[in-house]
Amino acid sequence: MSSEAGPDTGARPDGALLRLIHQLLVVRTSGKLADHQRGYPRWELANAELRSLLEAGVGGVILLGGSAAELALRCAQLGRWAGQPLLLCADVEEGVGQRFDGATWLVPPLALGRLYGREPERALALAERYGRCTGREARALGLNWVLGPVCDVNNNPANPVINVRAWGEDPATAGALATAFLRGVQAEGVLSCAKHFPGHGDTSSDSHLTLPLLAHSRERLAAIELPPFQQAIAAGVASVMTAHLMLPALDGERPATLSKPVLTGLLRRELGFEGLIVTDALVMDAITGRYGAGEAAVLALEAGADLVLMPADAGAAIGAIAAALQGGRLDREQLEASAERRRRALAGLGAGAPGASGVPGASQPDPEAAAQPDQALALELVRATLEASPGGERPSQPGVNLIRLDSALAAPFLPATAPAVAKPEAQGWRTVLVEGRSPSPWSGLAEAPLALERLGPGPVLLQLFVRGNPFRGSANSAEPWPAALRQLAACGRLAGLVVYGSPYLWDQLQPLLPPGVAGVYSPGQMPLAQAEALARLGMGEDGGQNIFTT
């Protein structure tokens, strides 16, 4: 592991230098107000430390968790503590409601990628409205920087970390839709961010857990990975986020996030990007497993990054950057240029920009402006991207509502009142939850993997919540759902199938549905998507036309 700091000159950095260093850090905190409410205390700073860093000049905060109303209060609080214009951002790739309850939660971007293949003009219009909705609600709640769009081309179905977060599986689709989204976001006066440069789509490992390798040639990168970023840059994207992955064709020594050939050589010089370059979170294991918190921050700035996102230890990062400046390893003029890019980005938002709370004359977040989520757009997106395989007669009797999800403890889409549970139960179905590879429903047999005696009698409705998610380690579960589908069909117990999230699982299972058994695919997993999918199966009074014959 590399050393934490540069050489110790013995001199204490002056106040202006320390403030410059602080401006280049973006730290993480909870969207909730109290320390005990933090969902991830390992990564989210406590209020005392956060306030101290903001008062010292830290330039940005990334937020996660809480309701929309809480977020508005939190952003105003952070602005007061900072007393200066502040970058306030969130990973709201699927609308602000993906992270903050009460705002609009939209289908994942890849849903529009599939629609683009059938109705390109409609998909482009929806992508721009998607961006406008996200930008409008972000601004109303105090955020001024949306960490999206994902510009990665998800041409590897086994990708565990990008997957449905991408806008397309080919460069043309991904570039067109991501650019439409960012135009919508920035039209609402909010910064957008193209990520993860130079392209994280064709990986089969998760950079939250390990350092992926992308062993493609420079020519292949230029043909597949780079075009969406080039389109985003041409469209005026405000910022670009780096990828934690090795690209030997560009740099055989360091990951892209810490690579001068990638950030300065390729992104700045060859592609001509003049906006903000921000690292992906340096706390991720792809970086922390190889570099200390201080050394990672120094290497990122040395490579050409402007902003250091989520260093594993903010104090260590600040100390290491200061030592590197004093020792001549980092150039002060370069860091001042980064601070100037940050200043220009904030200035471009206007005097009443969100995130400027605490500055005389600045506007405050307005939670009432986002209190009514855009349910019309959310519903239109769900219905436009739903896919169905018609079936036969509705089951004459209720049976088992078998729901598969990663973990009941980490499933914000499945509260107790979620339609996936409540609607079948209202018609007499009994719910059985399967968490990942939990042993309860499995027999251990390859041809008959479900232990049907444990499920109990009656027809079985399969509802499978599967999608690529960071920290999962794999995009497609190794669970034997194709064999389970055949098993249930063979004994006449398969009542219907709903796949939420993964188009790859749906494409695998849909051809296996026997005649007379209905199936539905919904890219979205949120309750609104559940209600629509089940309505298509004839379970619920709301939503679209059901696909059972009556």
Q: Which residues are catalytic?
A: 208, 280
Beta bridge partners of 405: 435
Count of residues making up the chain: 550
Q: Tokens 């992104």: give the residue.
A: 267
First and final C-alpha spacing in the chain: 66
Helix (H, G, I), strand (E, B) or coil at 293: helix
How far is Cα of residue 402 from the mean position of the Cα atoms in its chain?
27
In degrees and rounded to multiples of 5, residue 533 shows phi and psi of -65, -45
Question: Greatest CA span in the chain, whole angstroms?
Answer: 83
Nearest to 241 by CA among 316, 171, 162: 162
Beta bridge partners of 150: 195
Beta bridge partners of 434: 404
Pairwise CA distance, residues 135 & 142, whole Å: 11
Per the CB < 8 A criterion, the answer to whether 200 and 161 are in contact is yes
Helix (H) or strand (E) holding 460: strand 460-466
What is the torsional sign of CA 58, 64, 68, 73?
negative
Nearest to 298 by CA among 273, 272, 275, 328: 328
